[in-house]
């Protein structure tokens, strides 16, 4: 079993997400999403494209005309989960032969037509850059043809498509600011499944944020695989071929962040993911300057050892990474910091693992996503190195890292007890319907009595006690 963030990622894995609207007598779409926030955000683009075609969404796949599974290929375990689910849908198809089943996203891109030929599990296979083709592909599938489009694009950002918000609390929303990744970390499948990096027009991002604010949303999270690499120099201008002058005039991530922060002081801004090799002090100063940019950074380290980082092709050393963390803490002492780390990468020695252990102890993260290395086909690591750490040892090392993190999380949470936190009310607490849940600027979850409040309100909450990952509080008048 994979060990990841149980609260934020795992709990949403595979949930069907629905939205209001669409024609009640139209066809019904059931869409289930796996993987990262970008995939969830893509599902909202897909839903938008199909709602335009007269579809409505449903949370019950038994009443669906079309079932889409938006898939993740990041680790073997993620793919296994999807395979299992697709077999269930295949059985549903036996009962309803007109049902169309489509696989979308990263696993579709990785396996391409194999899904149709070898496994015969689905009717449609669509990669992340081909969603505009969905109405056409559904038409083909309904005529009994197999439909595939896995063409990756260098330009597609879906900038002109207004996503419909699925399963929305009406308060927080994701905005994709770029697609793809040019980094080629040796372990990672993303560059193969999502193609080349491209940034989205900042005006379309700002207007999406403004539109959300006007609809009552109070928090946006800007999404990209490496947000620090965001650069917009005008339509069609590729980052690699810019003149010095064009580069100087281009909008970088720090500038984009400022533009979004200026939409309204009541609109909170978050972003994910930062890359240690590219995160600039400019971004940190911009964060410090605006109250409404949340003081929270997710800065994946992957390993605490410089040789391993080199084999991973991450582009930084242990020392460089530590300097970045020190700089965050210097510029924003109150910032919440989280990370991603993996154990058992190719050739990882005991000494190299100890460096990850010491880095995790040193980092005192508020939160971490922790994984055992899973070899992915086609990646540089698969071609160049041997996946030579036994599963048992990967798991043992992972467990060690998890225990350190549990202690850090507990310590960080406890340190917040007794303090007053500005919280954005998001939704009813899952555990207690008389309470709201919301988060403070550091992304820590608080649960507190409903009082006269409603989602979208800001409130000061005194944290009186805590569990490992949640603060329990009282409203401060």
DSSP element (H, E) containing 274 = none
- The verdict on 41 binding ligand SAH (CB under 6 A) reads no
CA distance 343 to 348: 8
| Residue window 98-117: x/- pattern of binding to ligand F3S, with contact defined by CB under 6 A | -------xx-----------
Strand partners, 109: none
Q: How many CA atoms lie within 13 A of 297 on its CB side?
A: 30
Site string for ligand SF4, 240-279 (x = CB under 6 A): -----------------------------------x----
Angle subtended by helix axes 350-363 and 318-331, to nearest 10: 0
Other beta carbons less than 10 A from residue 26's beta carbon: 14
Per rule CB under 6 A, is residue 38 in the interface with ligand F3S? Answer: yes
Under the criterion CB under 6 A, does residue 183 sit at the interface with ligand SF4? yes
Binding partner of residue 340 among ligand F3S, ligand SF4, ligand SAH, none, CB under 5 to 8 Å per kind? ligand SAH
Residue 173 contact among ligand F3S, ligand SF4, ligand SAH, none, beta carbon within 5 to 8 Å by kind: none
Among 186, 273, 303, 408, binds ligand SAH (CB under 6 A): 273
Cβ–Cβ < 8 Å for 423, 408: no
Q: Decide: is 188 part of the binding site for ligand SF4 (CB under 6 A).
A: yes
Instruction: Tell me phi and psi for residue 245, to 5 degrees.
Output: -65, -45
Rule CB under 6 A: say whether 379 interacts with ligand F3S: no
Within 373-392, the residues that bind ligand SAH by CB under 6 A are 373-374, 376
Q: Which of residues 34 and 68 has its CB atom nearest to ligand SF4 in the complex?
A: 34
148 counts as binding ligand SF4 under rule CB under 6 A: no
Strands 100-104 and 124-126: parallel
Length of the chain (residues) = 477
The reply to whether 229 sits near ligand F3S by the rule CB under 6 A is: no
Query: Are the C-beta atoms of 167 and 19 separated by less than 8 Å?
Result: yes
Radius of gyration of the chain (CA): 22
Alpha helices, DSSP H, located in 305-390: 306-311, 318-331, 350-363, 380-384
State which residue, 188 or 446, has the beta carbon closest to ligand SAH.
188
Closest CA to 162 of 176, 141, 146, 151: 176
Q: Which residue is nearest to ligand F3S (CB)?
A: 35
Ranges within 214-233 binding ligand SAH (CB under 6 A) = 225-226
Per CB under 6 A, 226 contacts ligand SF4? yes
35 near ligand F3S (CB under 6 A): yes
What does 106 interact with, of ligand SF4, ligand SAH, ligand F3S, none (CB < 5 to 8 A by kind)?
A: ligand F3S
Of 172-211, binders to ligand SAH (CB under 6 A) are 187-188
- On whether the CB atoms of residues 296 and 412 are closer than 8 A, the answer is no
What Å distances lie between residue 394 and 182, 340, 353, 373, 389, CA to CA?
28, 15, 10, 7, 6
Find the shortest distance in angstroms from Cβ 340 to ligand F3S.
11
Distance CA 82, CA 71 (A): 7
- What number of chain residues touch ligand F3S (CB under 6 A)? 13
| Helices and strands (H, E) in the chain, number of each type | 15, 21
For residue 163, which of 127, 217, 101, 114 has the smallest C-alpha distance?
217
Using the rule CB under 6 A, which residue among 45, 74, 209, 251 binds ligand SAH? Answer: 74
List of residues contacting ligand SAH (CB under 6 A): 74-75, 187-188, 225-226, 273, 275, 300, 302, 340, 342, 371, 373-374, 376
Interface with ligand SF4 (CB under 6 A): 181, 183-185, 188, 190-191, 225-226, 275
């Amino acid at each position: 079993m994979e060990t990841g963030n149980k609260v934020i990622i795992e709990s949403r894995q595979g949930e069907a997400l629905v939205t209001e609207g669409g024609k009640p007598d139209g066809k019904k779409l059931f869409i289930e999403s796996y993987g990262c926030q970008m995939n969830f955000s893509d599902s909202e683009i897909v839903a938008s494209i199909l709602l335009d075609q007269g579809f409505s969404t449903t949370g019950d796949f038994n009443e669906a005309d079309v079932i889409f599974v938006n898939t993740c290929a990041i680790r073997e375990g993620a793919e296994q989960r999807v395979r299992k689910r697709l077999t269930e849908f295949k059985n549903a198809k036996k009962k309803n032969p007109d049902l169309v089943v489509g696989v979308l996203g990263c696993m579709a891109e990785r396996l391409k037509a194999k899904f149709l030929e070898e496994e015969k599990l689905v009717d449609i296979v669509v990669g992340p850059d081909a969603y505009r083709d969905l109405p056409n592909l559904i038409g083909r599938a309904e005529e009994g043809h197999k439909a595939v489009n896995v063409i990756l694009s260098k330009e597609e950002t879906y900038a002109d498509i207004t996503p419909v918000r699925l399963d929305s609390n009406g308060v927080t929303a994701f905005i994709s600011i770029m697609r793809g990744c040019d980094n080629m970390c040796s372990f990672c499948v993303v560059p193969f499944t999502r193609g080349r990096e491209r940034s989205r027009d900042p005006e379309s991002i700002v207007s999406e944020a403004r539109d959300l604010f006007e609809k009552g949303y109070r928090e946006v999270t800007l999404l990209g695989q490496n947000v620090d690499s965001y650069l917009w120099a005008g339509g069609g201008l590729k980052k690699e071929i810019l003149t010095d002058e064009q580069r100087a005039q281009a909008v970088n991530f720090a500038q984009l962040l400022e533009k979004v922060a200026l939409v309204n002081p009541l609109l909170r801004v978050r972003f994910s993911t930062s890359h240690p090799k590219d995160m600039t002090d400019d971004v940190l100063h911009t964060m410090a300057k605006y109250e409404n940019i949340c003081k929270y950074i997710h800065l994946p380290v992957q390993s605490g050892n410089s040789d391993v980082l080199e084999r991973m092709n991450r582009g930084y050393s242990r020392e460089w990474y530590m300097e970045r963390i020190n700089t965050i803490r210097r510029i924003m002492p109150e910032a919440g910091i989280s990370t991603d780390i993996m154990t058992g990468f190719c050739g990882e020695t005991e000494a190299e693992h100890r460096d990850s252990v010491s880095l995790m102890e040193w980092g005192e993260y508020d939160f971490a996503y922790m994984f055992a290395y899973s070899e992915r086909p086609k990646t540089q690591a698969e071609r160049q190195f041997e996946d030579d750490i036994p599963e048992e040892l990967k798991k043992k090392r992972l467990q060690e890292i998890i225990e350190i993190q549990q202690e850090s999380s507990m310590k960080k949470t406890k340190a917040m007890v007794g303090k007053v936190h500005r919280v954005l009310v998001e939704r009813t607490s899952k555990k207690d319907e008389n309470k709201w849940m919301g988060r403070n600027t550091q992304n820590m979850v608080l649960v507190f009595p409903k009082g006269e409040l409603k989602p979208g309100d800001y409130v000061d909450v005194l944290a009186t006690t805590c569990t490992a990952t949640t603060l329990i509080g009282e409203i401060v008048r």
